[in-house]
Structure 1
Amino acid sequence: MTKNKEWFASWFNTSYYHILYKHRNDSEAQEFMQNLVNYLNLKKGDLVLDLACGKGRHSIYLNSLGFDVIGADLSKNSIQQAKKFENESLKFIEHDMRNPFTRTYDAILNLFTSFGFFEDDNEDITVLKNIKNGLKNNGVAIIDFMNSKKVIANLIPQESQTIEGITFNITRYVENNFIVKEINFIADGKQHTYFEKVKNLDLTKINTYLNSVNFKIKHTFGDYQLTNFNEESSDRLILVLE
């Protein structure tokens, strides 16, 4: 597989992606959702879009807190899995975030570094425009991104993880202003290579994108406990937008 292909369209749709990340911490994610909901003062019955929802773990939890939730993701495989959890107030749809939404929301959440995937800056700006246009009056958006400065300072160049009998050999590097994770492994009798590529975006650069669509930062947080953002020490760059 080449790096030129849109990496997320193929990698996120494989079973191997879900094996590699099966250890993701649900309790941490739920604590983050609870902190966010309290901060945003969302009301039961508010309509929330979980944009790039994967298999829907955040959508399902948010729905359990009393919100109407739509989870949207590009991956057919993930959405098929998530649809098993649908109910009257929880729906899942296949959607490319570069395409506009057909309705408006009280809150749009883009979580766990699901932004900055595209080679062309204009596509990232289109995503922000779609999010902005997808909000109701007084609606709010959250973009939960990595703190790229800290990530690059602490990049682990190589590591291996063996999960379910598959050894994932992972290489990390910065190339063409992207932070790249290259994942090599043998499974089902074949050698596989996949890439995760996220743009090296600091707060200043993201702000230029936001300004171009007249989107305003209301607040920045640096972790899932919602402490203030510090460019040197924070693990995350969480943007509250309106």
Structure 2
Amino acid sequence: MIALLLRDIRLSMRSGGGFGLALAFFLIVIVLVPFGVGPETSVLGTIAPGILWVGALLACLLSLDRIFALDYDDGSLDLMATSPLPLEGVVVVKALAHWITTGVPLTLIAPVLALLLNLPQDGYFWLLVTLAIGTPALSIIGTFGAALTVGLKRGGLLLSLLVLPMYVPTLIFGAEALRRGMRGMEAGVPLLFLAAISLAALALLPLAAAAAIRINLR
């Protein structure tokens, strides 16, 4: 599993769909928002939680179609399906590699970009916490979506249409926890819901993704 994880991380770095593209897209979204909304710091500070979470969510979408596509094209996915490692374990490793190359960099750079949106000082801690808890769900859900569309030509648009509705609960609770935290309100409830989504996705979606891959490989 460790060898597969390291391999996927290296492939993500080299294929052009890794953390560099996601970070560049995240930066573009955050930079463009003040031009569209206006330079009023009070307005930017109010909408900052939602904008930061939407930017992170959309940045995660960019590399989802590459999770299984490269392995499917060169036949590696067929070998993985017949290897001693269960296909569910392969799905978990793929999701972990996507989170390491996309979710972790987005989480680390988000406080820096939050300066452009005038995020209140109390919100930086909650920004890191919510993204650290919520981005694993984005990677796992995205891996499930990639498993559903593996083998389809030009399946990127279909993948986005499938995954975006499933991202909505994570977006709602992540942005709400950040909004409450930066205002000094109780943020425990949305944070628990956010953690529950990540744990539920980790428990259920690898099984569903493995079943989808087996069907697509027949």
Looking at secondary structure, tell me which structure has more strand per residue: 1
Q: Which has the higher contact order (CA 8 A, sep 6+)?
A: 2
Q: TM-score, normalised by structure 1?
A: 0.26
Looking at secondary structure, tell me which structure has more helix per residue: 2
